[in-house]
Structures are given as C-alpha cells and as structure tokens.
C-alpha cells in the first residue's frame, strides 16, 4: 500500500513576504492544461526529465541551455530570448519551475531568469519529489517527429513565443569575486550554504559526491555556515514557514534585512536556493548570489581562506 505523504500547510498561511511566488502541487495540477502557464523542469540530473516529468513540462538544461558553451558565464540576452521564445513563452505567460533535489536547480533557473528581468515566475513548492510522493502523474511517452523524440508540450507549441527580455543585469542579485573580497574587507555578512564538512575544509564537495572542484578547502573569511537544506522541511520537501526561517537566519545567525548579504556554495546552485528563501520568503531586499562560489574562490592564487 503506498505511503500517504505528510500533509503540508497552505502557502498563504506561512507568513511569507511574497507568497505569490510559490505555488502548490495542487495549483500546478489544476493548471496543467492552462495555455497561459508553462511548466519548466530543471534538474541536477540532466537525464531525469527523460525518465518522466510533469505532464506538459518542458526541460531546462542548466548546462546546455543557460550556460555559455565556451566561457564560464551565462548566455547573453539574444540567446536567452530565443530559448524562451522557442518554448512558446509570451509576455503574459506564467512560468512555473520545479526540479529534483528539493528545487536546487529550479531556484538556480529562477535566479538566472531574474538576471534577464523575467517577472512572471513561480516555484512549485516541494519540487519533483513532492509531486511523485503524492502519486501524481508523470509523462513518460514521447513520439518521433522530424528525426527526434518530442514530448507533448513541444508538440503543443505551434508557433514561437513573443517574449522580450532585457539585457542581463549582473549588478543587483549577482556577486563577483572582487565584490566578495570587498564584502570580507568591509565585514559585511557572507553566508556559506554548503555542508558543514565543506565549510570546515574537510571536503571539497558533499559527502556523496566526488571530492573535487577546488585546490583548497575551507570558507571565505567571516562567512556564516547556514546549510541550504535548513530552509526545507525534510518530511514534506516544502519550505519551512516564515517564523522558522526567521529563527534560522535572524535569531540564530544575526542576519538583518537592512544589510547587503552575499550567499555562496560550490557552483552557485545551492546558494540560489538560499537567495530565494531570503529574498522572496523573508523579504530581504539586498541579497546577491556569488555563482563563482568555492570552485572559483578555492582555486584563486592568494585568496584568503579560513578554517575553524
């Protein structure tokens, strides 16, 4: 007999600063056939989508779609606009993002979309795992058209979308190496969202991953260790209520909403999750994600490193 998932509280009752950016699995189920809604799956496992996905969802590959193939940076405005138009996105389309790993890569995609000024964004609370645990359907069948497999949502897009995006703005929610160094020198808050083992310099990656990616271990001097997963209820895979988040980030670690905060991890995906929680759930207005993170900082010659 299938296990009944732990019930979740209504998003509107959790006290978030911007509850409108989160939608429940039921809301998504009710809008699967809504032509004004497009559902995007963004996973750490870039092959997971092909094993099954929400009916009508389209895939966003964080490597192939969002990153420049040559330099370590994101694609430019023209390429991002083409990407969205090819998936049928119009100016009035609501984009719902979800993915594996409690929405690591969904919040990463959300953050990249915001770099280009995309406004009508939502995140499915609980991600792929919540949807599956609730026994909701996954689409697993594709048809061969034009020499390749095409999923239902691709076949529904009869014409390109008309959305226009702005030039990528790297100044407001993105941090670079030199800005992080300035943050250190000024004594402003930095949040390291990696595992405690990575923070202490015992590992260069999480326990279940290859121990690679940087030449030095440790953390940026002065950073506070607040693992990204603390924002999630492990029983439901959904975000904790605002009261619990206030306790974690403000009462326990002294973050203040009037301060400029930089969050980082290893390559920017886990920290985008914390950026989302601070920015949209708690309403912190000045949070930037350092996507260079430890794979950049831990490989720099002469970069200051701290260990407990």
Burial grade of 282 (CB within 10 A; 0-12, 13-18, 19 or more) = buried
Burial grade of 211 (CB within 10 A; 0-12, 13-18, 19 or more) = middle
Burial grade of 247 (CB within 10 A; 0-12, 13-18, 19 or more) = middle
CB atoms near residue 3 (< 10 Å): 7
Identify the CA nearest to 142 among candidates 51, 34, 45, 74: 51
Residues with a known catalytic role: 265
Are 230 and 201 a contacting pair, CB within 8 Å?
A: no
For residue 219, CA distances in Å to 206, 223, 287, 300, 308 come to 14, 7, 19, 13, 9
Distance (Å, rounded) from C-alpha 179 to C-alpha 72? Answer: 17
41 three-class SS: strand
225 three-class SS: strand
Burial 101-126 (b: 16+ CB within 10 A, else e): bbbbbbbbbbbbbbbbebebbbbbbb
């Amino acid at each position: 007999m299938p296990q009944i998932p732990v019930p979740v509280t209504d998003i509107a009752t959790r006290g978030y600063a911007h509850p409108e950016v989160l939608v429940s699995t039921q809301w998504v189920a009710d809008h699967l056939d809504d032509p004004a809604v497009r559902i995007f799956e963004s996973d750490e496992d870039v092959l997971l989508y092909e094993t099954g996905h929400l009916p009508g969802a389209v895939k966003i590959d964080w490597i192939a779609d969002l990153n420049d193939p040559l330099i370590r940076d994101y694609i430019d405005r023209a390429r991002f606009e083409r990407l969205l138009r090819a998936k049928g996105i119009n100016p009035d389309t609501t984009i719902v993002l979800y993915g594996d790993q409690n929405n690591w890569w969904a919040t990463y995609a959300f953050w990249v979309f915001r770099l280009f000024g995309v406004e009508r964004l939502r995140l499915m609370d609980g991600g792929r795992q919540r949807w599956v645990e609730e026994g909701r359907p996954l689409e697993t069948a594709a048809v061969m058209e034009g020499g390749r497999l095409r999923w239902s949502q691709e076949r529904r897009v009869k014409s390109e979308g008309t959305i226009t995006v702005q030039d990528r703005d790297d100044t407001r929610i993105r941090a670079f190496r030199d800005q992080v160094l300035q943050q250190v020198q000024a004594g402003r808050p930095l949040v390291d969202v990696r595992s405690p083992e990575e923070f202490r310099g015992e590992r260069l990656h999480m326990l279940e991953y290859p121990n690679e990616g940087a030449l030095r271990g440790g953390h940026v001097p002065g950073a506070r260790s607040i693992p990204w997963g603390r924002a999630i209820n492990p029983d439901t895979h959904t975000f904790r209520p605002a009261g619990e988040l206030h306790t974690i980030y403000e009462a326990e670690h002294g973050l203040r909403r009037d301060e400029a905060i930089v969050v980082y991890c290893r390559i920017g995906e886990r920290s985008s999750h914390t950026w989302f929680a601070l920015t949209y759930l708690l309403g912190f207005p000045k949070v930037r994600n350092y996507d260079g993170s430890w794979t950049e900082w831990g490989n720099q010659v002469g970069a200051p490193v701290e260990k407990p």
